[in-house]
Chains A and B, each alone.
Chain A
Amino acid sequence: MFGELWKRQLVEDITSSKFLINFVIILASVIGFSLLFLGHFQSLEESYSKNTNANDQLLSESSKELVRLLSAPLEFGMKPGPFLFISDGYEEKIPKGLVFRPKGYTPDIKETTGLKKASSPDLSVFYSTDLTFIVQFLLSFFAVLLAFDAFTSEKEKGTLRLVYSNPVKRGHLVLAKYMSALLAIGLPLLLGLIIGLILLSLSSVVPISSGFISGLSLFFIISLLYLSVFVLIGLLLSAFSHNSKNSLVLCLLVWIFLVVILPKSSGLFLNLKRFDVPTEQEIEERVRKVEREVWNRHSHEDWMTRSGQDASTKLNVAVSNEEQRARQEVYDLYLRKKIGAVRILQSVNFISPSSLFEYSASALAGTGLFHFEHLWKQVTQYRRDFLNFFMAEDRKDDQSDHLYFHPDYLSRRPVDFNRIPKFEEKDIKTGERLKDAAKYLVLLGLYNIFLLILVFNKFQKYDVR
């Protein structure tokens, strides 16, 4: 009996005109966005490889004297990958990566301030052209459209009375409507994803790996979780209304609120003192202050550099290392603060399933903020490896005083460029990405359960006449 309900509903949903229109729109958007992505991805890759080549060139020039390696201002951008098609993560808007800034004897790690500014200042692209947008906007709209008249149309047609003159449990109809809608939405989405995958792999511009395919499948599941929320909202509002027109209005307004308005409201809190971060100048001033504190601590000592054997020179090196650590702490602190402020603001958005979905997709794809944080970790490790390599090389040179890291007292021998460790960004493991996405998914799941219970309850008392 339940099977009958479900089958009938599915046939009706799939043969409806709304399904057809939505199908066409989804396919057109996926194809359009794939083409846009291909064009854009190529230039992203070009700029990334240009960056890497510039780094290599810097290293190659510095390799003529070992000590020069310490002052190479290397740049580490976020590596573009096919996951950007799944979720863009606003990578065009946040800082594009980190740099080695040689201020003291050894480089500091800083984020690149300022973006890759286009010559046109038109930054009004508030949404990204990725799969997340298609699901977040178009499919959720369609989900609501499928479900908004679930109960009210049956009531208006008189079939609700007819159905319930039979031994049918109330909950069965709800479940049937729900599952049918989910299937009717999952189908075009799946097809869209497959077509997108085919287009990308055909182009040979984008490297497709098994990791990408598994990521895409996970994205499909997350999308279903998200879309289920909207189906349930549609069903719920349908169970609250007595005619389809009212239900439609409510559904549209709720959709606008959850998908368009709410995610675009966290800007509201940006100006709060709590989220205030200092300007670049203020940060530099603080750095100077911290440096001076280090100097003052040693002001009564003699740390002038004389010769490689002098105690004062050794002290100078120790002080400069201390200085660098203090500086790096300041930079790290403020970077953490900036990212932290954004994270807190994002949590305000947790009421909106649309934002939850966006964040989980970004986490799953390993793009945006998540990407940046992982890059930061890797660059920090690379700096350690880089300096370790330097010290190992320096120890081979008897001429060097081995004072790490004063440039006047280190090896000037040339080093083989091919032996210098180069930074290669490692992809974030699937497990890590799932861990990042977990908390958003749990919240989405709770949303679903909560709405499901509400819909079941509300429909129990629904007047079928």
Chain B
Amino acid sequence: MANQKPILKADDLSKRYEDGVLAVDHLNLGIRPGEVYCLLGANGAGKTTTINLFLNFIPPTTGTCYIKGIDVTKDPLEAKKYVSFVSENVMLYGNFTARQNLEFFAKLGGKANLTKEQYYQVMRRVSLQEKSFEQRVKTYSKGMRQKLGISIAIIKDAPAVLLDEPTAGLDPKAAEEFLEILTELKIEGKAILMSTHDIFCSSACSWASLSSASS
């Protein structure tokens, strides 16, 4: 896989906010299929900013982000077809069930016409309990929501996956389960960019970069 083109690429990426804080300083990275790149660092080190830059939620000060060769600022809609996103601490739509949330995001991600069984399949894969598939998300614990978030990313089946603090607030067992899934995705050939402050996560990483605050 090493000779394939990188799916997630950042060229000389920098972001300075209006208040002067330099969150990202000339970042260069390229993640090929099957590689997991960890952005390690303390809180406020610019990890989430990097992810936001890839998703074109904020414009970069210098440099460019590419998803599958597409410049995210020039053609964001096209680029987003090829990336899945797992957010930190997402509440999701509380009045809907897990499956309904999953179905909604699957369709947004371009995966229509999936059967209920296929949704269940994915949710089982992330070790969500059967009985909670049709329960409303607002009754979920943090860990369960996190799992659901991951299943949303899985079902989109995009070549790139962005994860923002995926293990924040999870107990060791759940974190362990998560690492297993991450490894599975890696083997499937996804290019994964993960921001985390959990150093044990890095055991799954092919690459890691440490950043401290304001550097």
- Footprint of B on A, CB under 8 Å? 1, 4-5, 8, 11-12, 15-16, 156-159, 161-169, 463-465
Contact = CB atoms under 8 A, between A and B. Distances in A.
B203 interface: no
Given A157-B91, A158-B87, A167-B80, A464 B57 contact: yes
A21 to B, nearest CB: 16
Nearest to B94: A157
B66 interface: no
Of B92, B104, B149, chain A has the most CB atoms within 10 Å of the CB of: B104
Interface stretch (B4-12, B20-28, B106-114, B166-174): B106-114
11 contacts: A1-B107, A4-B108, A16-B95, A158-B91, A159-B92, A159-B93, A161-B90, A162-B152, A165-B162, A166-B156, A168-B77
Contact of B90 (A157, A167, A168): A157
A1 B112 CA distance: 9
A162 B149 CA distance: 9
A171 to B, nearest CB: 12
B90 to A, nearest CB: 4
Given A5-B108, A8-B104, A158-B87, A165 B55 contact: yes
B211 interface: no
Contacts of A11: 96
Interface string B50-66: 00100101100000000
A92 B91 CA distance: 54
Chain B, interface size category, equals 20 to 34
Contact of A162 (B52, B83, B87, B95): B87
B42 to A, nearest CB: 19
A156 B92 CA distance: 10
A319 B87 CA distance: 93
Of A15, A158, A164, A165, chain B has the most CB atoms within 10 Å of the CB of: A165
Contact of A165 (B84, B94, B96, B104): B84
Contacts of B89: 158
Given A161-B55, A168-B80, 15 more contacts: A1-B108, A1-B110, A4-B108, A8-B93, A156-B91, A159-B91, A159-B92, A161-B85, A162-B87, A162-B105, A166-B110, A167-B77, A464-B57, A465-B52, A465-B58
B78 interface: yes
A166 B90 contact: no
Given A1-B108, A8-B93, A159-B90, A167 B85 contact: no
A8 B96 CA distance: 9
Nearest to B75: A167
The 7 residue pairs across chains A and B that have the minimum distance between CB atoms: A165-B85, A158-B90, A157-B91, A167-B77, A167-B80, A166-B108, A4-B107
Contacts of B57: 161, 164, 463-465
Of A5, A159, A463, chain B has the most CB atoms within 10 Å of the CB of: A159
A465 B57 CA distance: 7
Contacts of A166: 80, 105, 108-110, 156
Contacts of B156: 166
Contacts of A167: 76-78, 80-81, 110
B90 A162 contact: yes
A15 B95 CA distance: 8
Of A12, A156, A166, A169, chain B has the most CB atoms within 10 Å of the CB of: A166
A190 to B, nearest CB: 24
Contacts of B78: 167
A165 B90 contact: no
Of A11, A12, A465, chain B has the most CB atoms within 10 Å of the CB of: A465
A167 B92 CA distance: 18
B52 to A, nearest CB: 6
B110 to A, nearest CB: 7
Contact of A163 (B77, B81, B108): B108
Contacts of A16: 95
B55 to A, nearest CB: 5
A164 B91 contact: no
A15 B136 CA distance: 13
A6 to B, nearest CB: 11
A188 to B, nearest CB: 19
B87 A157 contact: no
A165 B91 contact: no
B139 to A, nearest CB: 15
Nearest to B55: A165
